[in-house]
Each structure stands twice: as structure tokens, then as C-alpha cells.
Amino acid sequence: MCVPPIPSRLMTGVDDVTVRVMAPHEFEAMRAVSVAAFGNDASIGHLLDGLRDSWAWHDELSFVAVRGDEVVAQVLYSSAIVDAPGRLVQVLVLSPVGVAPHLQRSGVGTKLITQSLAVLDARDEPLVFLEGSPSYYPRFGFRPGAELGFTAPSVRIPPPAFMVRPLPRYEPWMTGALVYPDVFWRFDAVGLRP
Ligand SMILES: CC(C)(COP(=O)(O)OP(=O)(O)OC[C@H]1O[C@@H](n2cnc3c(N)ncnc32)[C@H](O)[C@@H]1OP(=O)(O)O)[C@@H](O)C(=O)NCCC(=O)NCCS
């Protein structure tokens, strides 16, 4: 698959935060920001380690927001499968996304998600899924997965939180169950627990 570089219009913004693909040497900094974003939740770091070592990882789909040389936010898209009636369809899952605690709610997440999603338009995957707040993600084009005929990989994902955003290669026959790769289960990173 040939993915073009991020267009220059995506490299600048209204402030001093820049969105770009993570460089390989930035993995630890990206990981640290994500763990901190989730309240020092170590399991996020373990999930990132597992994803990096799995078939679902794509170097070009780990995005960071940087201020100067400092990584201040991250978003990762990794591969999953939709078990559609006609055939298996390779799709993407947005997880995790995290902004350094001191910068949360200042527009960094919006910039990071908007600009990284724009890059996905050039890819073959037709859909991006996520588990997240139904009050936050619709602004990026996400809608409830059930509206397009998808079922969640776990009953522990509240239906409004199971969301999907079509990409240019989406076709309406693509329906069915979202199947997460093994790594999400190994790290118990699916849905909510009481
Ligand atoms: C969620 C997160 C990525 C959003 O990025 P951000 O830079 O803080 O958000 P922005 O400043 O771009 O956007 C602000 C908006 O997001 C909303 N928002 C922020 N965090 C939210 C959350 N956890 N749930 C719902 N809405 C949230 C704010 O209320 C605000 O809404 P408004 O524009 O209607 O006023 C960031 O807050 C974060 O890292 N949170 C901790 C980790 C996390 O929860 N990750 C996502 C799991 S689905």
C-alpha cells in the first residue's frame, strides 16, 4: 500500500502544535504521554507495547502532536477485521488517543484527530472504528456502528460508545461484526468492566 506524506497544509496549525507521523525513536515518549493521559494507567503502555509487536501495527499510522521537540499527544490506528457477509474486510481501530494532562481541553486532541483522519482518506481500509464518548467523536464524523449495520466486539461496549467513521473506500455491503485482533484481548483492553 502506498501512503503519501502528510500534505504540507496539515503540518501547520493555528498554534505551535504540529501533527505528524511518529518517528521510530519517539515510541517511548509517545507511550509515556498516553499513559499519563489516562491517569498513569500502566495498562495503556502494555497495550501499546503489544500492538507494536503485532500484525495490527503500522508505523505510518502512529501519529503524534509535538510542540517543539516534545511529544504532547498521540493517536494510534491499528488493524482489525469486519466479518462481512461477502468476505473479511480489513478496517482500522482508533485506540488509544491521549493528550498530555496539562494540555487537555485546549484543542490539541481535535487537531490531532482531524489531521490524522485526513491522512486515512488515501488508504485502502474503508472504515475506522472506536470505543469512545458519544459527545466527543461525532464532530469528527463518527456515528453509532449499529446505524451502518455493525455489531461491537463485546457486549461490554455501550452501544452509543461503539462508533464508526466511513472512509472513501466504504461500500454499503460492508456490514457485520467488528473483530479485534488478539492483542486487545490479551491486554483486556475491550469495553467497560464494573
Ligand atoms: C479525550 C481527549 C483525547 C480529547 O482531547 P482534548 O485535547 O482534551 O480535547 P479538545 O480540546 O480537542 O476538545 C475539547 C472537547 O472535548 C471534550 N472532551 C474532552 N475530553 C473528553 C472526554 N473524556 N469525554 C468526552 N468529551 C471530552 C470537551 O468537553 C470539549 O468539548 P466541547 O468542544 O464540546 O466543549 C483528551 O482529553 C484525553 O487525552 N483524555 C484522557 C484520555 C482519554 O480519555 N482518551 C480517549 C478515550 S476514548
**pLDDT of 82-139, one tens digit each?**
999 999 999 999 999 999 999 999 999 999 999 999 999 999 999 999 999 999 999 9
Distance CA 165, CA 26 (A): 28
Q: pTM of the entire structure?
A: 0.92
CA of 111 relative to ligand 1 center, distance in Å:
11
Parts of the chain with a pLDDT under 70: 1-14
What CATH code would you report for 8-186? 3.40.630.30
Ligand 1: nearest atom to the Cα of 99: 39
Predicted pLDDT of residue 193: 83
Instruction: Look at the chain and count its residues.
Output: 194
Predicted pLDDT of residue 6: 53
Ligand 1 probe mutation, 104, 128, 131, 163, most atoms within 8 A of CB: 104
Closest Cα to atom 20 of ligand 1: 105
Residue ranges lining ligand 1, Cβ < 6 Å: 37-38, 97-99, 104-110, 132-133, 135-136
CA of 159 relative to ligand 1 center, distance in Å:
19
Q: Which residues contact 8 (CB under 8 A, 6 or more apart)?
A: none
Predicted pLDDT of residue 94: 98
